């Protein structure tokens, strides 16, 4: 996995992602309190392929 920060899609704040977080895990933005899911664009393991999406569930 990857460790670092990804941008919240709602407020653009940095959301920390740890080595233990997996694709599909629920994360929360500390600024806007949005529920987010960790997702990946492709099969590659590049940092740019990871993103956060609002969790509507």
- Of 29, 51, 27, 25, the C-alpha closest to 40 is 51
Instruction: Evaluate whether 6 touches 51 at the Cβ level (below 8 Å).
Output: yes
The number of folded domains in the chain is: 1
Asked if residue 24 lies in contact with residue 38, where contact means CB atoms within 8 angstroms, the answer is yes
The domain that holds 9 is classified in CATH as: 2.20.28.160
Tens-place pLDDT, residues 1-57: 678 999 999 999 999 999 999 999 999 999 999 999 999 987 767 777 899 999 886
Is-above-0.85 flag for pTM? no
pLDDT at 44: 67
**Domain assignment of residue 30, given as a range:** 4-54
Would you state the pLDDT for residue 42? Answer: 78
Helix, strand, coil percent values for the chain (each to nearest 5): 5, 40, 55
Q: And the tokens for 32?
A: 């806007």
């Amino acid at each position: 996995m990857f460790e670092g920060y990804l941008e919240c899609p709602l407020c653009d704040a940095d959301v920390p992602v740890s080595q233990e977080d997996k694709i599909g895990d629920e994360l929360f933005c500390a600024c806007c309190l949005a529920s987010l899911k960790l997702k990946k664009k492709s099969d590659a393991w590049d940092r740019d392929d990871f993103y956060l999406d609002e969790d509507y569930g």
